[in-house]
Amino acid sequence: MTTIHENTLSDLFENLVTDFIQDNLERIMKAEITSFLEGKDSSESNSRNGYYKRSLHTKYGHIEDLQVPRDRSGEFQTQVFQPYQRRDGWLEEAVIQMYKSEMGTRDVARFIESMFGSHYSPTTVSNITSTVLEDIHQWQFRALKKRYSVIYLDGLYVKLKRSTVSGEAIYFAMGIDEDGHRQILGFYVGGQESANGWRDVLKDLYKRGAQEVLLGVFDGLPGLDDAFREVYPKADVQHCIVHKVRSTFPKIRVQDKADFIDDLKTIYNALDRELAMAAFDTVKAKWGKKYPKEIQSWEDQLPTLLTFHKYPRLIKEAIYTSNPIERMNKEFRKRLRPMNSLTNIDAAEKVIYLDAIDYNERFENRVIRGFGDPTVKKELLELFEERYPAPVVEEE
């Protein structure tokens, strides 16, 4: 049972923390106005003009009489808070984080009211999370690095409510830069996945600065190869091995599945391209008559299925499939599934953006395995310089 003494100590501690925060905020503002006045031209007539009091709600407690310095000209504005701000933004940040954690606007509003006694209507919660849309716009138009060793492309479908509920594509682009860091470069919501849709995505990446790319990794969507090569004619294409195996698997009879798949492994697990081609010839001789269409499909696509052999073996695991971006999409799909259907594109973008930021923060300082090796970095640099030589500057 809590005693009066314990309550008193708790209140005392809370007051001490609030006083400490107030003292430090006031000290910061005193330093701000000193710097502000010292930076003024000596011919300008301005000086301190006492203080005014105002309240500020912080996550450490409520400050009733914060002393804010002012100048005679009324030009000084502290950077501690905005002119009409009455709380330091922590509750709004909490609202955004709860929305991100799969709570609906009504759930968030009820939670805020029960925990903090601060009534936020579902509309208010929605308005707070809408501030994210401004960040999304800036993020989607941010400049990208010039060089990416790899760009992965993959899409997923979400249910959006328009006049009716229907599935629409989210196009995702992910890149590994020269330093081996993997990041989501952009996402684009709406419509049905198509080569034309991807062409627009790729043009946007190029316009934002990603102009020198070595390799594009994606599945065999018809027309996507051409769209990619249109924007990045000097880059290679790697079709995802896993997608190819998956598309082949259902067409093989049950009694042959295990042997057939094991034989396919000898192709993409070969040590080099020459051995891979020899392995394919063996597979073709064994299965060509029984599964002519499937074998012909593999033969037609071998040039782009075996592209990874042109690159350092240490990065094979990162580039011969689109697994990295598919794993990311699996995280996003899990996040979106409880929502059943999203009210509109804005709602979808809010959720995807917040998760994309989290993803990029998790991976921004990680070097993808193999890409940090000095020999690999040297080989990739040589490929960049060979395909994208620096322009020759003529001497005058």
What would the two tokens of residue 140 be? 């989607």
Task: Give the DSSP letter string of 237-263.
Answer: EEE-HHHHHHHHGGGS-GGGHHHHHHH
Higher pLDDT, 94 or 38: 38
pLDDT value, residue 390:
85
For residue 341, pLDDT beyond 80: no
| pLDDT tens digit sequence for 175-228 | 999 999 999 999 998 778 899 999 999 999 999 999 999 999 999 888 999 999
Please check whether residues 192 and 112 belong to one and the same domain. no
pLDDT band at 163 (very low <50, low <70, confident <90, very high): low
Please check whether residues 205 and 59 belong to one and the same domain: no
Look at the block and give the residue holding tokens 């973008």: 349
Query: In the prediction, which pLDDT does 1 show?
Result: 45
For the chain, give the percent of residues with pLDDT over 90.
Answer: 46
Q: Is the pLDDT of residue 293 over 90?
A: yes
Q: In terms of domains, do 206 and 103 share one?
A: no
What is the distance in angstroms between the CA of the first residue and the CA of the last residue of the chain? 88
Q: How far apart are alpha carbons 291 and 289 in whole angstroms?
A: 6
The mean pLDDT value for 161-175 works out to 79
Nearest to 174 by CA among 150, 207, 156: 150
Alpha-carbon gap, residue 176 to 366, rounded angstroms? 11
Say what the pLDDT of residue 89 is: 56
Q: Does 365 have pLDDT greater than 90?
A: no
> What pTM does this model have?
0.69
In a domain, 389, yes or no: no
Question: For position 384, what pLDDT does the model report?
Answer: 97
Bridge-based pairing state of the strands 147-161 and 212-218: parallel
Of residues 329 and 380, more confidence is placed in 380
- Answer yes or no: do 42 and 169 share one domain: no
Average pLDDT for 19-41:
76
* 80 and 107 assigned to the same domain: no
Other C-beta atoms closer than 10 Å to the C-beta of 13 total: 10
pLDDT of 2? 47
* Higher pLDDT, residue 80 or 55: 55
Q: Is position 106 within any domain?
A: yes
Q: Clarify whether residues 130 and 202 are in a common domain.
A: no
User: Which range among 38-42, 67-71, 102-106, 225-229 shows the weakest confidence by mean pLDDT?
Assistant: 102-106
Pair 129, 206 in one domain: no
Is 193 in the same domain as 307? yes
36: confidence class by pLDDT, cuts 50, 70, 90: confident
Chain-centroid distance, C-alpha 230:
25
Number of domains in the chain: 3
Query: Quick check: 68 and 78 in contact, CB under 8 A?
Result: yes
Is residue 43, in this structure, part of any structural domain at all?
Answer: yes
Which residue has better confidence, 391 or 152? Answer: 152
Closest CA to 258 of 268, 249, 267, 270: 249
Q: Are residues 145 and 193 in the same domain?
A: yes
The answer, yes or no, to whether residue 335 has pLDDT greater than 50, is yes
Tell me whether residue 390 is in a domain: no
- Is it the case that residue 4 has pLDDT exceeding 50? no
297 by Cβ neighbours in 10 Å (0-12 / 13-18 / 19+) ranks as middle
- CA pair distance 236, 29, nearest whole angstrom: 57
* Interatomic CA distance for residues 301 and 317, integer angstroms: 19
Bigger pLDDT: 341 or 288? 288
Looking at the domain assignment, is residue 308 inside a domain?
yes
Domain boundary among 71, 88, 105: 88
Determine, yes or no, domain membership for 393: no
Does 394 reside within a domain?
Answer: no
**Higher confidence at residue 110 or residue 70?**
70
- Domain range for residue 39? 4-88
Same domain, 104 and 76: no
| Whether residues 58 and 102 fall in one domain | no
In this structure, of 100-114, 144-158, 249-263, 353-367, the range with the lowest mean pLDDT score is 100-114
Q: Kindly state the tokens that stand for 357.
A: 């930021």
Is there a single domain that holds both residue 228 and residue 345?
yes
Q: Which of 89, 147, 179, 210 is nearest to 366 (CA)?
A: 179
Lowest-confidence range among 123-127, 135-139, 307-311?
A: 123-127
Given a cut of 60, whether residue 12 has pLDDT beyond it is no
Distances (CA, A) of 104 to 101, 110, 122: 9, 10, 9
16 located within any domain = yes
Is residue 244 pLDDT above 50, yes or no?
yes
Q: At residue 84, does pLDDT exceed 50?
A: no
Q: Which of 126, 342, 151, 130 is nearest to 237 (CA)?
A: 151
In total, the chain counts a number of residues equal to: 396
Question: Can you give the pLDDT at residue 227?
Answer: 96
Least confident window among 21-30, 85-94, 357-366: 85-94
pLDDT on residue 372: 93
Query: How far is residue 198's CA from residue 216's CA, in Å, rounded to a whole number?
Result: 12
